[in-house]
């Protein structure tokens, strides 16, 4: 059990109060047993991974935190490529590093993202033109409703833009392991303009996976999106707001300079552009002395400059969404999972 039972010590933004109880599950069997036993006792549970997408109230969590710490990576080679199965508690970027070092393609543009493997299908984590849904073939989960372990194939996972079956029903499933199908040629396809420019290739072109990883890490560091204990700008939950998907009529009313992309259900607009053009600059805060502020490197990251509370972060988020709503009539949705904090 950790010596510090506050969520602030186990989340990347460094806010959140104490939990009533804490269990560290170092194996899949321990994870399943802990959750099933607590469910049978009708005790509230908070599943904790890397804490990179979690905002918990200052009052903390009135229940038991079950911290996922299972490890293990299994590799199967075939004529089509490589199947990699990773336990939910594997650090995500360590897995990406492993695949890139071995010349396997499919995860390289997802470099530098904090957190654990188990969280990636929940959010359908994506960056620079890649999403984990593109390579996931199956996810093994504990179905808490029936207290049994099941395997869900990709088309059963309900993947969409930054969402999934697991996110839509967060108290039903606990991810145990993720199976991904990767290419073995050592080359990745570039599907994002900013990354293509950094690599000096056209969108749709290709590059060695190691070069793609290095370019992505450079881009993320410039935005404060790679964890660095010496840089307060990285004390965040990553991108706090999701790029909104709107209908064609709404999109046509927005300044054409706003970046936009075709998306299922309409047109995806750049949340960063909307925030910046609503008058929220990098480094902005609700007041000069507020310990929570917008990153000085990226307007979608809300940071803990030191000593911030969860309420400080919420007040900042509400102020930003109000400005965007007033300027464009669009309500931004937040990406982090909020626990008992009214986000």
Give the ranges where 190-299 is alpha helix by DSSP (H): 193-199, 209-222, 248-252, 271-277
Catalytic site includes residue 239: yes
Q: Is 297 helix (H, G, I), strand (E, B) or coil?
A: coil
Q: How do the residues of the chain divide into helix, strand and coil, expressed in percent and rounded to 5?
A: 30, 30, 40
C-alpha to C-alpha distance for 96 and 56, rounded to whole angstroms: 28
Catalytic site includes residue 335: yes
Q: Which of 30, 194, 211, 335 is catalytic?
A: 335
Catalytic site includes residue 3: no
Q: Which of 57, 111, 239, 295 is catalytic?
A: 239
C-alpha to C-alpha distance for 22 and 38, rounded to whole angstroms: 11
Q: Is 166 helix (H, G, I), strand (E, B) or coil?
A: helix
Other CB atoms within a 10 A radius of the CB of residue 255 amount to 9
Residue 55's nearest CA partner among 298, 238, 299 is 238
Residue 117's nearest CA partner among 136, 145, 142, 143 is 136
C-alpha to C-alpha distance for 25 and 338, rounded to whole angstroms: 22
Element (H, E) at 73: strand 73-77
Q: Which of 62, 102, 154, 162 is catalytic?
A: 162
Both tokens of 99, joined, read: 């695949």
C-alpha to C-alpha distance for 51 and 38, rounded to whole angstroms: 21
Handedness of CA 245, 248, 254, 258 (dihedral sign): positive
Residue 187's nearest CA partner among 106, 295, 112 is 106
Q: DSSP string spanning 7-20?
A: GGGGSTT----BEE
**Alpha-carbon separation of residue 299 from 293, 303, 324 (angstroms):** 10, 10, 12
**Alpha-carbon separation of residue 193 from 162, 180, 205, 223, 246 (angstroms):** 20, 25, 11, 16, 22
Q: Would you please indicate which residues are annotated as catalytic (active-site) residues?
A: 162, 239, 335
């Amino acid at each position: 059990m950790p010596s510090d039972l506050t969520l602030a010590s186990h989340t990347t933004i460094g806010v959140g109060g104490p939990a009533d109880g804490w269990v560290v599950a170092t194996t899949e069997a321990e994870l399943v047993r802990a959750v099933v036993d607590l469910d049978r006792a009708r005790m509230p549970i908070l599943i904790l991974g890397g804490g990179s997408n979690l905002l918990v109230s200052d009052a903390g969590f009135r229940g038991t935190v079950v911290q996922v710490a299972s490890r293990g990576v299994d590799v199967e080679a075939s004529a089509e490529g490589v199947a990699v199965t990773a336990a939910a508690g594997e650090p995500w970027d360590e897995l990406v590093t492993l695949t890139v070092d071995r010349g396997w393609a499919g995860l390289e543009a997802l470099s530098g993202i904090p957190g654990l493997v188990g969280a990636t299908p929940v959010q359908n984590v994506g960056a620079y033109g890649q999403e984990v849904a593109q390579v996931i073939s199956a996810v093994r989960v504990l179905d808490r409703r029936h207290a049994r372990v099941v395997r869900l194939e990709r088309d059963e996972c309900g993947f969409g833009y930054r969402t999934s079956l697991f996110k839509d029903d967060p108290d039903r499933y606990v991810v145990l392991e993720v199976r991904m199908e990767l290419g073995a040629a050592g080359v990745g396809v570039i599907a994002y303009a900013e990354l293509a420019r950094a690599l000096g290739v056209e969108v749709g072109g290709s590059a060695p996976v190691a070069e793609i990883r290095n370019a992505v890490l450079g881009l993320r560091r410039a935005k404060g999106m790679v964890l660095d204990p010496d840089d307060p700008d990285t004390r965040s939950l990553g991108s706090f707001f999701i790029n909104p998907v709107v209908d064609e009529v709404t999109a046509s009313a927005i300044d054409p300079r706003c970046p936009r992309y075709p998306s299922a259900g309409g047109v995806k607009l750049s949340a960063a552009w909307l925030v910046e053009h609503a008058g929220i600059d990098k480094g902005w805060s609700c007041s000069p002395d507020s310990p929570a502020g917008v990153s000085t490197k990226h307007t979608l990251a809300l940071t803990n400059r030191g000593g911030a509370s969860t309420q400080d972060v919420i007040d900042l988020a509400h102020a930003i969404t109000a400005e965007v709503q007033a300027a464009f009539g669009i309500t931004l949705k937040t990406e982090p999972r909020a626990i008992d904090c009214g986000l």
